[in-house]
Chain A
Amino acid sequence: MGCLADFAPETPEGLMHELSICQSLLDIVLDTARKNDATRVSRVNVEIGELRGVVPDSLTFYFEFLTKDTMAEGAELHIDIVPARKRCRTCGAMHLDEGDGVRCPLCQSTDAELVMGMELQIRDIEVE
C-alpha cells in the first residue's frame, strides 16, 4: 500500500544551482543594505572555494539578471576564488591541495585535512 503523495513545493528556485545560490546571495545583500539604510549597492565581494563546484561566469550572469529593478542593479559582483589548502596533521604546516597523494613539503606526511577551498560567502558590500 504505502502512502503516496505528490506535490511540487513552491520555492523560489531555478534551473541551475548557480541561480539558487545567486538568489540567496541577493537576498542577503538586499537585506543587509536595507538594514544599513543604503539606497544603492555598488559592489558585492564574494569568496568561493575552488573545490565548491560553482561556476563564476554563471553566477555573474544570474546576478545581472536577478538584480534588475533592485537597488543592486548595475552593482559589480567581484568573485575571489579561494585556493584549496590542507593542514598537515603531523606538523601543522599549511600547504596547497594539489590532489592525489599530496605530501607535506616540510615533513613529507600525507595525513592532512582540508581547511580552505570550500568557502561560499559574502565578504562585504559597498553601498551608497
Chain B
Amino acid sequence: MTRIIEVMTDILQANETTAADNRQLLAKYGVTTINMMSSPGAGKTTLIERTIEALAGSMRVGVIEGDIETTRDAERLDKYDVPVVQINTRSTCHLNATMVRLALEKIDLSGVDLLIVENVGNLVCPAEFQIGEDAKVVVLSVTEGDEKPLKYPAMFRASTAMVINKTDLVPYTNFSLAEARANAHRVNEELRIIEVSCATGEGIDQWVAWLTSLRRRRKD
C-alpha cells in the first residue's frame, strides 16, 4: 500500500548543521571568518597576501586554502608568520562544512582574529555550501568582464561583499567599473563593493577598513 510521508526537510541540512557547529566553535574563540570565493585566477591568494601584510600588528590572520589539487597556494603563504592549512578536495568543486571542520582542528584558534577561507576557484558551486563563515566575499577581477554578476547571480546574491580586483588593468580592457557595480546591485542591492588593485595596492585600505568593521560588528 502506498503511503505519503511528509518530510519538509532542507536537503543541505546535514551540511548546515556542521556549519552551525563551526560557527559556534569560531565564536567561542572570537574568530571572525570570511569565505572568499571567485573564479580561478581572480587573485584570491594575492588579495590574502596583501591582507596579511596590511593587517600585520593589528589583527592575527589565519588561512584555510581550498584547492582541488596541489599545496601551491599554502606554499605561497608560507613566508608569512601565519597559520595556513591546505585542503585538497581532489575532484570536488567546492569546500563544505565538514572539510572546514577538519581543517579547523589543525589551527590554534586562540591565536587567530581573522580566518580567511579561500574556497575552490569556481563561480557556481561554493555559493551553495555554508562553512560557518560570518560573511561570504566574492572576488571579481577586471579581466573576467563586468557582466559576471548577471551570469552567475547565485554567487553574488549569497555574498555580503564583492571585491573588484585588478583595477589597474581597467584602461587595457572594456571593463566598466560602473557597469560591474550596477550589475552586482541588480542581483544583490545590499552588496558592499570594494575596488582594489593588488598590484599597486590601491584600495587595500578600503578592504582592510571593511574587514575591521566586520570584526567589530561580530564582536559586539
Contacts and interface: CB of A to CB of B under 8 A. Distances in A.
Interface of A: 1-9, 11, 13-17, 20-21, 24-25, 27-29, 32-33, 36, 38, 42, 46, 51-54, 99-101, 120-128
Output the residue of B10, B11, B81 with the most chain A CB within 10 A: B11
Contacts of A21: 11-12, 128
Contact of A16 (B4, B77, B93, B187): B93
Contact of B153 (A51, A54, A125): A51
B66 to A, nearest CB: 10
A25 B98 CA distance: 17
Contacts of B187: 99
Most buried by B among A8, A29, A33, A124: A8
Nearest to B3: A127
Given A17-B94, A17-B125, A17-B128, A2 B81 contact: yes
Nearest to A28: B9
Majority SS at the chain B contact face: mixed
Contacts of A128: 1-3
Interface of B: 1-15, 71, 74-75, 77-94, 96, 98-99, 102-103, 106, 124-125, 127-129, 153-154, 157, 186-187
Given A13-B96, A17-B93, A126-B2, A4 B80 contact: no
B71 A15 contact: no
Contact of B3 (A28, A38, A100): A38
Contacts of A9: 87, 89, 98-99, 102-103
Contacts of B89: 8-9, 13
